[in-house]
Amino acid sequence: MPRKQKISKKAAKKLKTAQPQEEFLLQPPRGMRDILPQEQPYWQQVRRVSEKVATDFGYQRVDLPLVEFTNLFTRSIGSGTDIIEKEMYSFSTKGGERVSLRPEFTAGVARAYIQHGMHILPRPVKLYYTGSCYRYDRPQEGRWREFYQFGCEVIGEQNPVLDAQIIQMGWRIIHQLGIRNVKVHVSSIGCPACRKNYRNLLVHYLESKKQKLCIDCKRKLDTNPLRILDCKEDKCIQVRTNAPQSIDHLCDECRIHFKELLEYLEELGIPFELDSALVRGLDYYTKTVFEFFSALSSDDSGKSKRNALGGGGRYDQLIKMLGGEDTPAVGFGLGLDRLVIEMKKLGVRAHKEPNPRIFLAQLGNFAKRKSLRLFESLERAGIMVAESFGRGSLKSQMKIAGRLGVEVTLILGQKEALDGTVIMKDMASGNQEIIDAGKIVDEVKKRLKK
């Protein structure tokens, strides 16, 4: 028998380091991307407009964890939905806890409402949020695996006037972003009582057309038949044309609620379209459901389509389902990615930050140290200042000041730093004057007023 050869520690270390290493990709995972500085003006405009509308309507901001326990979503969204079955980023922690990246916000808002005892607050409780969500779906235009949402939830009241106001808020945000040709698709899927009867009628109809459905919808027939109404396959669209409509099978309470909602929308002058195929993809919805759609456009195949910019609905059972009191609620969410895409398509002017009117130039290390304090003094006084502290030559700094189109350049050299003075140069006339450093803020204010 051959003798076993001993491997030295040094040789073992070499073998270990010789193992093939994982490929290093200088890019984010598929379906995720960087939003670079040149894109930010659009995003800043969307955030600013949406948050202002929310605060104008009396909503308060809530920030929620990016990661929640998985069963929060399986219980609220529904185990038969596409999100739960194939679109969630779920994993186990080192402690063995099953958690997920949030695929949407409403379930987290409901959890926070219960956990922090918000039921004792004056009703309705109005909350808004913004941030990233994650769904493991096939990436396409306007549908990323990491995407951004803004949304509002109003909790504690079931009057349809709040449904109308929520739609009004989403409508106003979209319009204030310059996206004008928008239509609201609206429907009612009823309460659990009348939806059960409607579901039976729908299943009976779809069973008779089962052979014409796509493979995915044949599976949904047993798990979540209402989702078949939302299928984009041509043959499924043809099948649902003659399918029973939920709004024709509402109980008295749900029918009155829906009728009053439509009256409020007419009063507000918001154009809407009854859409019997609108069901939304989450199990917690009751009664009102709606979506905001942009103008008709053509896709790559030449087919006309409307792009969904967001949507929402009423979820009167969710908080009770999660262990809280019986609490009605309604809300909406907007896809920030899709809003930005639509703004670009329409040529909407992006938000532009005001340009600085003052440039601070310095020469020498001692002057640079003094410039930092002078820069802070100007900023504290509300004066927007540009600078280029990393540049050494005065000539290169003056070129930058010229490109920025500032009105005044303040120059601080070694001599000025020692004397406690600053050179103020008028960029239009080229005139220069020496100002006491202690008076420079007041002098700049006077100059800018002129």
pLDDT above 90: percentage of residues in the chain:
57
Query: Which token pair is 381?
Result: 């006084």
CA distance 90 to 297: 35
H-helix or E-strand spanning residue 115: helix 106-115
CATH class of residue range 358-449:
alpha beta
Q: How far apart are CA 209 and CA 389, in angstroms?
A: 72
- Residue in 223, 220, 225 with CA at minimum distance from that of residue 198: 225
Strands (E), 156-191: 183-188
Write down the pTM of the prediction.
0.84
**Residues ≥6 apart with Cβ < 8 Å to 90:** 70, 98, 99, 100, 101
- Cα-based distances in Å from 413 to 293, 369, 418, 419, 447: 59, 11, 9, 10, 21
The DSSP code for 436 is E
The reported pLDDT for the residue numbered 1 is 46
**Closest alpha carbon to 165 in 256, 62, 260:** 260
Domain residues of the chain, as ranges? Answer: 40-191+251-345, 358-449
Radius of gyration over every alpha carbon of the chain, rounded to an integer in angstroms:
30
Q: Mean pLDDT over residues 432-447, rounded?
A: 91
Tokens describing residue 271 = 């154009």
Segment 302-343, tens digit of pLDDT: 555 678 999 999 999 999 999 999 999 999 999 999 999 999
Rounded to whole angstroms, the Cα distance separating 313 from 74 reads: 19
Q: What are the residues whose beta carbons fall under 8 Å from the beta carbon of 6, sequence distance 6 or more?
A: none
How does pLDDT run across 147-197, given as a tens digit for each residue?
999 999 999 999 999 999 999 999 999 999 999 889 999 999 999 888 888
Please report, rounded to a whole number, the percentage of residues in the chain having pLDDT higher than 70. 90
Superfamily of domain 40-191+251-345: Bira Bifunctional Protein; Domain 2 (3.30.930.10)
Q: Is the dihedral of CA 410, 412, 417, 421 positive or negative?
A: negative
| Range 129-152 average pLDDT | 90
